[in-house]
Structure 1
């Protein structure tokens, strides 16, 4: 039985960063696939959105579990994270919404840079961990490997084709919260196949009291795009289900509303329509809407709003004008489910109440650490989730290393 100081279960972003942070110790990475970080290579459309460069306090305020993440974010700041790569010659650019990408726009370069650090780290591929036991202050993994510390970095349950199948939920005695879809396209009650491919730019999507700005894309099954992916997290938090029990999720009485004209208030639209309807009285409503909406979206809008596009502006009733304003400011869609196969992250995981946020060490088992998506915290699209992975991984690796000194 080979012995190591630190065994890292999972060779994704958090596991690799844990190894980087613990360099100098005798480390093994146990990866179930035949290659490292399969999911990392898919992020940012294959470009790898490394992190989000908002000021750290503003960044933390974007997270549901900001108090738990605070210490890891301050331990591995964005500046320090980027320097890890720049020290190996990989540089970055900042795009809209503070998103950070490698200059090469290749996720594989991020992976290659991380692996360049790991020349002295033992990596075992096609190694699916089945059991972890602790005997005499040592961890025994599959009766094959002995380690002083173990870091669980197995990821969540989404994108199972990359190896993320929820293995880490079952390897310890730690409680697991309900596991749900995150950053998922949504399935609508409406049949939108005839409108698939239409983009709605710079709109606002609301769910109950929450509102998220961004783009929306209509698909054959429903809606996607950054604003929809982000709102899906809130829908998951708000609805009772657990993917560990059942993956065929049907939502009941879930509605979102899209503000198609967020630059106008209702009063401003009303005033605009008074002036425009007088000045352009002979114009048909469907033609007038071209000034406000994507042309190909207008038929769907009119259908859902219950308005006649052939009516002239001068003949629109007060009732229909109010209906027009209400629909522009909040076009409703009923959501019946998630496109789970396209869910990018997992909501839920190992309960953070049992994890020391200052070290990522278990409060239940000394020497056992957790990092990345296997934990409960989840973020929006735009570099937030890789930020969690890298920061918690770094803190776990650093803490495990220091505990052995």
Structure 2
């Protein structure tokens, strides 16, 4: 039976980074379920690989609900360390999102793969059992183990609920994260239309961002960021039931730059000055042109009506819906969930080393932990930083 100092389970970004970091001083094996490494990494950012978010580190940490746990990981492996590690040309786009200049996730995968020269790689190796003395599948043994098996989304990349039961480590409920929402309304007539910089709200949660209409529902950065709030507010566990029915409402403020009172004043003035203008043409001042007909039809106002002919009741209905356009949500679009909410319970993991406080010499990295962030490079940042910290910590004798 072959023996190693450290076995890393999972060849995603966190697992690869952990293996690279640990291999500087230790004999390491990386066990990958698929026939290739980084299958999920290749599809991140639409294949462009949004490798991190380049906000200053304190502001970056404030974007996470578990910022105190992440602090040591992020300071151990900063964005500057990340850029130096990959040594590629990067571009920074809106909202501090960082991509390789080539816009190819395969370039990121190649760099980190090339740094695994001192690591034994075993492909098509599905870990089914880990004994108390760290014998894996009765085939190899390690002094320490790093589990970086990811979450449950994108099962085609190797993620599986079974990975949570490899050890007796406590876990939280597992839920969908960054997931599009399926609506009761038929949106096929406006599929592909985007609303820019609107405010989407659910109960007390408010998110500003773009909304993209699909044939079955809502997506886009604003919606999928709000989906985390929705998912976390509902009691369910994907380890028990992956079908989650929803019966809730979200509202979109289509003109967030104006309050109701300001909109009321503007309408009162404009409806007098531009009385002969058709409503559908006037609303081009505020709404995406291809959305106007759908909007007016939905709230029952004639798009051809002239402003001077709109009565007070219709005007109030128009204002109410411009400030609070309701969508009934029936379910998550689970096949497009980008991350997993939940995972290894952080209460039983040392944030400074990522070692289990329950099972000595067992470490965790990446999405398998109960860590997640919004869309925009935040989740790959978790993967690379926790992977590095876990690898360095496990390699210390």
TM-score interval, smaller chain = over 0.9
Q: Specify which of 181, 199, 206 is matched with residue 204 of structure 1.
A: 199
8 Å CA contact retained: 1:153, 1:168: no
Residue equivalent to 1:353: 347
CA distance, structure 2, for counterparts of residue 303 and residue 59 of structure 1? 42
User: What is the aligned partner in structure 1 of residue 15 from structure 2?
Assistant: 15
User: Which residue number in structure 2 is paired with residue 131 of structure 1?
Assistant: 129
Write the deviation string for residues 96-138 of structure 1: whole angstroms up to 9, x where unpaired.
Answer: 1000111111101101100111111000000000011122xxx
TM-score (norm 2): 0.98
Q: 1:68: how far off?
A: 1.1
In 1, Cα distance between the equivalents of 2:72 and 2:324?
A: 39
Indicate yes or no: 2:177 matched with 1:176.
Answer: no
Once residues 298 and 240 of structure 2 are traced to their aligned partners in structure 1, the CA distance between those partners, rounded to angstroms, is 36
Q: How does 1:251-400 map to 2 (within 5 A)?
A: 251-252=246-247, 254-400=248-394
What is residue 85 of structure 1 aligned with on the other side? 86
User: Alpha-carbon deviation of 1:304?
Assistant: 2.9
Name the residue aligned to 1:114: 112
Deviations 1:193-230 (A, max 9, x none): 12211111121111111111111111111011111111
Q: Which runs of 5 or more structure 2 residues have no equivalent in the other structure?
A: none
Instruction: Note if contact 1:305-1:331 (Cα within 8 Å) is conserved in structure 2.
Output: no
Contact 1:154 1:167 in 2 (8 A): no
Distance 1:115 1:354 in 2: 31
C-alpha spacing 1:54/1:173, structure 2 compared with 1 (3 Å):
same
Cα distance in 2 between the residues matched to 1:337 and 1:216 = 17
Query: What is the SS of the residue equivalent to 1:332?
Result: strand
Moved more, 292-301 or 383-392: 292-301
Alpha-carbon distance, 1:267 to partner: 2.1
Equivalent position SS for 1:362: coil
CA contact (8 A) 2:187 2:213 kept: yes
> What SS class does the counterpart of residue 93 from structure 1 fall into?
strand
Give secondary structure in 2 for the equivalent of 1:132: coil
Task: State the distance in 2 between where 1:329 and 1:75 align.
Answer: 44
Deviation at residue 315 of structure 1 after TM alignment: 2.0
Question: Greater CA deviation, 1-10 or 317-326?
Answer: 317-326
**Where do 5+ consecutive residues of structure 1 fail to align?**
none
Cα distance change of structure 1 residues 167 and 394 upon mapping to structure 2, 3 Å threshold:
farther
SS of residue in 2 equivalent to 1:201 = strand
CA contact (8 A) 1:154 1:166 kept: no
Check conservation: 2:20, 2:119, Cα contact below 8 A. Answer: no
Whole-Å Cα distance in 1 between the matches of residues 312 and 21 of structure 2? 65
Distance 1:113 1:375 in 2: 25
Bigger mean CA offset, 319-328 vs 106-115: 319-328
Q: State how 1:60-75 maps to structure 2 within 5 Å.
A: 60-75=61-76
Q: How much is the aligned-residue C-alpha RMSD, in angstroms?
A: 1.1
2:99 aligns to what? 101
CA contact (8 A) 2:297 2:303 kept: no
Give the equivalent residue in structure 2 for 1:39.
40
Contact persistence 1:166–1:374 (CA under 8 A): no
Q: Could you list the per-position Cα deviations for residues 290-315 of structure 1 after superposition, in whole angstroms to 9, with x for gaps in the alignment?
A: 22111221122113333232322112
- Is residue 153 from structure 1 mapped to residue 148 from structure 2 by the alignment? yes
Partner SS for 2:132: strand
Q: Offset of 1:66 from its aligned partner?
A: 1.0
Aligned mates of 2:168, 2:160 — CA distance in 1: 18
| 1:53 alignment counterpart | 54
Residue 148 of structure 1, CA deviation? 0.7
- Mapped partners of 1:231, 1:303: distance in 2: 26
The residue matched to 1:282 in structure 2 has which SS?
Answer: coil
The separation in 2 between residues aligned to 1:197 and 1:231, in whole angstroms, is 20
Displacement of 1:319 in angstroms is 2.4
